Structure 1
Amino acid sequence: MRKILKNDFNRNVLTLLTGTSFAQAVPIAISPILTRMYTPADFGIYAIFVSITAIFGSIATGKYELALVVPESDKDAINIASLSLLISSIFSGFLLLLVILFNSSITKLLGNDEISPWLYVAPLFIFLIALFQILNYLNTRFKNYADISRANIYKSFVVAFFQLVLGYFKIGAGGLITGQIFSNVAGNTKLIKNILKEKSLIKAISFKEMKRLGKEYNEYPKYTMWGTLAVTLSQNVTNIFISSVYSIATLGFYSLVHRILAVPTQLIGKSIGQVYFQKASEEKNKKGNAQSTFDSTLKKLLLISLPGFTLLFFLVKDIMIFVFGSDWAVAGNYARILIPLFCIRFIVTPLSITAPLFKQNKFGLKWQVGLLIISIVLFIITKYNNITITNFLYIYTTVLSLYYVYYFYKLRKFSRIFSTDVDHKKGSDSPN
């Protein structure tokens, strides 16, 4: 154990993992209670709200937060963070205006009247998502991994408290949504304290620098943002599709499965991905490529995912029935079908930052748009051929799994590209 902790990469991953493990354990622990307090339809409405806010929250910053780890100067980083915050504020305000003007039309489009009042809250939640992304990457740059872990723990306790208390009073999907909103407030409060302490950096914020850096890192809004929107749409539009083609209750079953199977990626994969990003950036700046960091991270992901997801495949149905009750047996069937896709995502997602790190944003955009197009084509085929939800999930898993394998192949290739950026900083290294 001491040998493992001596490795800086492993120590940072474990720091994040400890906090995120605890943070994820709380919502999972209360899930059996929530499934008895809320109906599948409540979870369905909640899933629609989360999908809408996730889609817009993914692009609210223009994806400039991804550039926070890249520059050598902390002053540049704080100005990029300020630019991200300004963009997200304007974007959220614009969305609020749209909701005020077109609430009834949006509600009709979503096909569920109960979501209507929560549309007014969505822009605020989108801003909170954007703020957390900014603070998360800024704290990653400063290696405040312990505070990132604590922020995730605070979020988990707050969401659990509100969802349980409001669930007791039977207020429906509003209890699930309110818990999510206040959890982000708690997480942001913790992370922003570290930044406010850096008074010298805050004084360095200027609109002139924000404008300069906005131009310097304009590949992020030009390519990464639209790619992120495409992939977020492809992941979240599934909820809206299932709700409209099948039923809100079916969406409730699917959303629970998605929530449970996504835990390994959110818990372990996200922690590994954050540290990978920081270490890969360092290796790229020193050597010109990130081959060593990529390969070592891949080995860790494979050692964790293959045994874990294989075991889960054989046990998941019985676990679902035992933990969540017999009313949720259908969710167990859905989970077994989707496990291969979630296993591949667990491996590829933490490594996906390789593309923008090596300025392959254009490829990232093309791949992510392709993912969205594939998803939409599958939805159209399913709708007009009356394909059952089970068969749809089989097709969805197979096609997307193969597409993620192709993405992994390209990411591995990018990690071996020699970057000439290193030449400007230190002599002329030659590629292997």
Structure 2
Amino acid sequence: MFSKSWSKFSKSEFSRNVSSQILGTGTAQALPFLATPLLTRLFTEADFAVYTSFFAVASIFAVGVGGKYQLAIVLPHKEEDAQNLFVLSIYVTFGYAFLIALLLPMFHGFFPKDLQNALYFVAPHVLFFGVWSAYINQSIRQKRFATNAYAKVIQSIGYIVAAIGLGAIKFLSFGLVIAKILGTVASYFFLHKKSIARLKIVPLVKLKKVAKTYVDYPKYGIGPAFLNTVSLQALVLILTKYYTTDDLGHYGLTLMVLSAPLTLIGNSYKDVFYQKMASLVMHRQYHLAMGFFKKSTLALLSLSAPICLILFFFGESLFHFIFGENWIRSGEFATILAFSFGVRLVVSPLSSIFNATNTLRIASVWQILYFISTFATLIVCAAVLKLPVTSLLVVYVVHEIILYTLYLSIQYYVIRFKITNGKNH
């Protein structure tokens, strides 16, 4: 029975779109991964520590890009409304990035000295990421998944070329940060050239109309996403505050490597899952949506399990062989963290179900719980109990497995609620 269901699933349009995404995104992830052994020899643990801290801060600020309106581009029946959402999200992004550039320098004193100069690049990162995100969601609406895949490949190539160049000349201590931003810029120009959407003057009344129609996205999306992002970066923030630069640098490489399958499989699957689930919900085909949700969960689990087992049993050896003797400790961290990344790989791509069903309020409850429990757990372990870093990571893994299992259950019951009531809420 399972093999028959899997056969139908693998031959579906959805599966072909996922395969296209994974092929392109796989290439995009493979290239930086292949370059990382060179980068670990061009950059020091301190360089990786700055890179890790910068993107912990930058990703928190990036939550507000576009007012989250770019996520709604997939939904409207009318193409004009989708175009207006596209324009609105970019306008908001420009204004938001300007405010960051104006205000963030006033607070540089709260950050470590080796990070302060890099923080001037938070605003450019937010700007290009926000515009890039708008184009990505416009492509999702048009089912142009191959275009998105190519864009991610270009993003990776731009990052690699810039990182190797900056690492070779040793011009900046935050060369990895600049390289990452340049990769996003290159990807943006490609998307702009390929997209049918264009930034243009739209009457304010039309922008206000779509802003009001989809107001739940900024209203209930930004807050929970902010809490979620801060929670995801909590470990970096705690390591920055209570542990050594060496600990943070080694964790930075671990995070970079383990994030590869999350981006490869998770983001590729999430884009197509969102489009398909939004379509099923729009047509009130809730029983089909439930079946699709279950098949997606099994598919993601089958992809996640082998990765977790390989890292758990061979993490230290692999990091030693691939990245060099100086990075064995990163492999030790990867062995501990394998299953926390695995459960996130299964559950996170399915979280777009809250966008598709317009139930962001429900998601926000979990986000608040996750935020509070994550920081409470880590602060008690680091500041009060003063656990060594490896013990801290073990506690963090247990917490992640419990909270993400709860998140998956909530996703399931959101669809079950739709089936029971037989209408959108």
Q: Which segment is superposed worse, 279-288 or 49-58?
A: 279-288
Q: TM-score, normalised by structure 2?
A: 0.93
Letter in 2 for 1:159: Y
Q: CA deviation at 1:4?
A: 7.3
1:418 matched to 2:423 = no
State whether residues 288 and 422 of structure 1, in contact with CA within 8 Å, keep that contact through their aligned partners in structure 2: no
User: What is the identity, as a one-letter code, of the residue corresponding to 1:125?
Assistant: H
Partner letter of residue 109 of structure 2? K
Which residue is 1:260 aligned to?
257
The aligned residue for residue 142 of structure 1 is 142
Give the Cα separation in 1 of the matches to 2:418 and 2:373: 32
CA, structure 1 residues 422+142, in 2 after alignment: closer, same or farther (shift >3 Å)?
farther
Structural mapping, 1:26-425, within 5 Å: 26-100=31-105, 102=106, 106-110=107-111, 112-195=112-195, 197-198=196-197, 205-289=202-286, 290-381=289-380, 382-418=382-418
More deviation, 16-25/51-60: 51-60
Q: Is the 8 A contact 1:75 1:204 kept in 2?
A: no
CA–CA distance in 2 between the matches of 1:404 and 1:271? 20
1:361-387 residue CA offsets vs partner (Å, 9 max, x unmatched): 112112112211112112321212211
Q: CA deviation at 1:198?
A: 4.9
- In structure 2, what is the equivalent of residue 430 of structure 1? none
Between the aligned partners of 1:308 and 1:30, the Cα distance in structure 2 is: 20
Once the two structures are TM-superposed, the CA of residue 413 in structure 1 deviates from its matched residue by: 1.3
**CA 1:160–1:411: 2 relative to 1, 3 Å:** same
CA distance in 1, matches of 2:245, 2:66: 31
Q: 1:74 to 1:116 in 2, by over 3 A?
A: same
Shift of 1:220: 1.0
Deviation at 1:2, TM superposition (A): 11
Aligned to 1:428: none
Aligned residue in 2 for 1:429: none
Q: 1:250 to 1:172 in 2, by over 3 A?
A: farther
Instruction: Check conservation: 1:272, 1:350, Cα contact below 8 A.
Output: yes
TM-score by length of 1: 0.92
Q: Percent identity between the aligned chains?
A: 27
Q: Take 1:324 and 1:260, find their aligned partners in 2: how far apart are those partners?
A: 11
In structure 1, C-alpha distance between the alignment counterparts of 2:405 and 2:139, rounded to whole Å: 31
What letter corresponds to residue 161 of structure 1 in structure 2? V
Which residue type is aligned with residue 107 of structure 1? H
Amino acid at match of 2:416: R
Pair 1:6–1:177, CA change in 2 (3 A): same
Question: Unmatched 5+ residue regions in structure 1?
Answer: 425-432
* Contact residue 356 and residue 364 of structure 1 kept, 8 A: no
Output one character per residue of 1:69-88: Cα deviation in whole Å (capped at 9) or x when no partner: 11111111111111111111
Judged with a 3 Å threshold, the aligned counterparts in structure 2 of structure 1 residues 321 and 420 are, in CA distance, closer, same or farther, namely: same
Q: Which amino acid aligns with 1:84?
A: S
1:252 offset after TM fit, Å? 0.8
RMSD of the alignment, in Å?
Answer: 2.1
